[in-house]
Structure 1
């Protein structure tokens, strides 16, 4: 059975409303949840960016759902601090927390004042970061003097079983490289052939963990409203990935997409009032063999979406044969 989760977007809602939303999602039948970990939103129009790690403690305490987070230690977060946060949540909520590690985006990492490295350098730093975190979560005292510098770090409060570390991977190259260290992969909704290539790259390189897909969508009472929501809240989806890593302010994303039309945004996600259309799209993803699907309605009003999908989408989606 495919696990169907709820994605909590810190960029779009205040943390208090997100906590209410994830509690409602559990009641509506969602199996799991995950959240973003941003310092800044993608757009000034989104207008929020709560601290994910404080929120995760409240969300884990307030529900019985397993939770994940997509995070990028290495610049904004020192890996020793990242390991401590991961270990604490895993110790408090055994078997219910995982973290997906990526190389990050300038919009969140520029705050340190350090130069934003080129992609090749960021990927090399990620490998060192993962090594540090793994060793710390294994109980080692760690010192390093490479791209990542650590002086005699040790995590004293450890869970009995370390939290799984997933890779955040959009490309086949990243998925292939992640097989060497990742306990699973989370990627984003893409064309079915591209998504299959990402999955195969991880599996063919020896990756055996779960594969999760985050799906952005827009739902409302009418097609016109669903399209308007997507255009207002999620037009940064039109920015190519290689550029999205480099833009360092929400205003830059807004300027880049100022002339985007609703129709152009609709090419990047399903925007529809028809839950059957959403179900059909999600079922095709599940049929690829995906283990977990996390749904992100890109609007700021979550209650009606949660209730509608809980009633009309989740029961059939969970039953799709992988």
Structure 2
């Protein structure tokens, strides 16, 4: 089954507005949802950053959509707290919640005062955190004293079946590693060659037969120039390198470089077009590449216009 989902961008909208938009997306024909999980927005100009786990409970209650989020489960969050939060959502809404985990960004995680670890250490911490989360979901009493510390933790409220645990990967190298331990892959929209490399690496690493989902950042307006102008104004971070996005500790430190990004720098990194047939073509390419679900992250202005236009012209063409 091909799923076209709607992404709730906590960086761009207050949570009350996102809840209203989630209902509108469901009514328009989107069949699933996901949301970002930040403490800070990428830049001060984006202006918002609601708490994902609180919002997810409301969104799951207010709609019949499935939902998931991506978090780093070992700094700002402790893995036992992530396990409990996810288990509670999955118990209340069976089969409708999934969790994705990744190595995070200093932007969100360094607020706890920890020194920001190297990528290798973050990977090691993530792998330990995944084992802790799975053990808690299985009903075990967990004590773990390596990079991640847990003492005598046990979850007394658990769902009948644990949620799917996806691994987030932006590169082929990470996708191959994720394939060895995750229930599925979550990645972002790529050009065809990059998308193929990530898929092949995930399958090579042990992910063959596992579900794959992709989040695609899109811009749309009836006028092409307007579509690019709005996407550039609201999501210039797509033009920045991953080293900066992972290691910068505050929105202010990202804002300066983001202000130098030009609209032309975003071509090939955002899916921006006034042509709704082109948007449908991008989605068909994702499904042909093996993804079972595509979550559309609208980064322009006029979210209602986006939802309604895609419901009328893009969803039926996929």
TM-score scaled by length of structure 2: 0.97
Q: Answer whether contact 2:39 2:49 (CA < 8 A) is retained.
A: yes
CA distance, structure 1, for counterparts of residue 272 and residue 166 of structure 2: 29
CA distance, structure 2, for counterparts of residue 96 and residue 126 of structure 1: 24
1:17 corresponds to: 17
1:196 corresponds to: 196
Match runs of 1:1-322 below 5 Å: 1-207=1-207, 208-317=209-318
Report how far residue 270 of structure 1 moved.
2.3
- Tell me the number of residue pairs that the alignment of Structure 1 and Structure 2 aligns: 317
1:320 corresponds to: none
User: What stretches of structure 2 of length at least 5 have no aligned partner?
Assistant: none
Report how far residue 126 of structure 1 moved.
0.5
User: What stretches of structure 1 of length at least 5 have no aligned partner?
Assistant: 318-322
Q: Residue 259 of structure 2: SS of its match in structure 1?
A: coil
Report how far residue 23 of structure 1 moved.
0.7
CA distance, structure 2, for counterparts of residue 209 and residue 175 of structure 1: 12
Report how far residue 202 of structure 1 moved.
1.4
Q: Residue 83 of structure 2: SS of its match in structure 1?
A: helix
Deviates more, 1:133-142 or 1:190-199: 190-199
CA distance, structure 1, for counterparts of residue 34 and residue 77 of structure 2: 19
CA distance, structure 1, for counterparts of residue 84 and residue 286 of structure 2: 35
Q: Answer whether contact 1:132 1:142 (CA < 8 A) is retained.
A: yes
Q: Answer whether contact 1:29 1:310 (CA < 8 A) is retained.
A: yes
Q: Answer whether contact 1:227 1:266 (CA < 8 A) is retained.
A: no
Query: C-alpha offsets along residues 136-176 of structure 1, whole Å, 9 cap, x if unaligned?
Result: 01000001111101110011100000011000111112111
CA distance, structure 1, for counterparts of residue 86 and residue 93 of structure 2: 11
Report how far residue 93 of structure 1 moved.
0.3
Deviates more, 1:292-301 or 1:125-134: 292-301
Deviates more, 1:157-166 or 1:269-278: 269-278
CA RMSD of aligned residues (A): 1.1
CA distance, structure 2, for counterparts of residue 260 and residue 240 of structure 1: 11
Q: Residue 247 of structure 2: SS of its match in structure 1?
A: coil
Q: After the TM superposition, which segments of 4 or more aligned residues of structure 1 sit over 2 Å from their partners?
A: none
